Homo-oligomer: A and B are copies of this chain.
């Protein structure tokens, strides 16, 4: 059964097919309005995420299907101690495709190993959030006409921002991509992401602490939020935060065809006045996210008609219990501890990618 857990589960060709389908949907919505008639999507959100959930639900409804689910853990059976695996098995009796959001890293993977229907990872803790990356890619493609030969600035919290890590992983498969990493020292891109993704793919990159310096060079600016609690001191936060707020003044120095993306919600890292600038594409990005989710649901339901033996499980080895306290293996009943050897030669937990001790 084909699922989408990590953006790299799909090949570059498959992503391009999704993009083409999404563009076609956006231009011919009526052709798709009954495609999923009598099909059901289950949105299993163990933590709230209105935007992502509503986007999935709108996507399914615009395909003529319907939706069941829950929007936070308190309304779920998890409070009674049910495992992710059991939830996935049960919900397979009720729905044709599952979108799962969980604070536990690896939760969607465990669900996909147990469900009888396709599972879409709608965010598993700080780990993966592939449908956000689908929205990012479609927006870049539609606005810039290409996914290669671009200078892409990533600004804000590059340390914890999973959307940044996923987008870098996705872009690393295209040619001519230059990454400009813009952040305070405290929130730099983690070394393992730099080594294993950026450098391994041979991507060109520079690091800077100045948004203003970087702006004129960019084709794409990907903004993210800087959270106060990431800093050791309130003073440090106050001193730095304004440098990473995008304003009309800063936009004056950017290229006339640069585009600004943001995974949203925006708090105050982009001034509301920037919204009127035609280069501000973050609301278009939300709309694009819906079209990509429609394309994704169609693809997964189509592949589910002729399920192939899944790839998960091959090349896995058993090992010590993972020590990442956010890993789903910490709480899931009788879940085998599994490790995979990644391209860098290291053993990593199958569920959360933490390196084996």
Q: Is the pair B51, A333 in contact by a Cβ cutoff of 8 Å?
A: no
The interface centre, meaning the residue of A33, A57, A67 with most chain B CB atoms within 10 A of its CB, is A57
The contact string, 1 if C-beta is below 8 Å from chain B, for chain A 307-330, is 000000000000000000000000
**Residues in chain B near residue A50, CB distance under 8 A:** 70, 75-77, 87
**Residues in chain B near residue A231, CB distance under 8 A:** none
Interface hits, A78-96 → B, CB 8 Å: 79-83, 85-87, 89-91, 93-95
Query: When A77-B49, A268-B333, A333-B272 are in contact, do A33 and B38 touch as well, CB less than 8 Å?
Result: yes
**Residues in chain B near residue A208, CB distance under 8 A:** none
Looking at the complex, which one of B49, B95, B286 makes contact with A58 (CB distance below 8 Å)? B95
Looking at the complex, which one of B74, B90, B94, B271 makes contact with A264 (CB distance below 8 Å)? B90
**Residues in chain B near residue A334, CB distance under 8 A:** 271-273
Q: Is the pair B48, A290 in contact by a Cβ cutoff of 8 Å?
A: no
A156 within 8 A of B: no
**Residues in chain B near residue A287, CB distance under 8 A:** 93
From residue A42, how far is it (CB to closest CB) to chain B in Å? Answer: 7
**Total contacting residues, chain A, CB less than 8 A:** 55
Q: How distant is the Cα of A80 from the Cα of B48 in the complex, in angstroms?
A: 10
Q: Is the pair A42, B68 in contact by a Cβ cutoff of 8 Å?
A: no
**Residues in chain B near residue A38, CB distance under 8 A:** 33, 62, 64
State the copy count for this chain: 3
**Residues in chain B near residue A85, CB distance under 8 A:** 272
**Residues in chain B near residue A123, CB distance under 8 A:** none
A61 within 8 A of B: yes
Q: Is the pair A75, B72 in contact by a Cβ cutoff of 8 Å?
A: yes
A267 within 8 A of B: yes
Looking at the complex, which one of B42, B54, B58, B267 makes contact with A81 (CB distance below 8 Å)? B267
From residue A127, how far is it (CB to closest CB) to chain B in Å? Answer: 18
**Residues in chain B near residue A275, CB distance under 8 A:** 89
**Residues in chain B near residue A49, CB distance under 8 A:** 77
Q: Is the pair B69, A264 in contact by a Cβ cutoff of 8 Å?
A: no
Interface hits, A256-303 → B, CB 8 Å: 264-268, 271-273, 275, 283, 286-287, 290
Q: Is the pair A266, B86 in contact by a Cβ cutoff of 8 Å?
A: yes
Closest 4 CB pairs of A and B: A58-B94, A82-B265, A272-B334, A93-B287
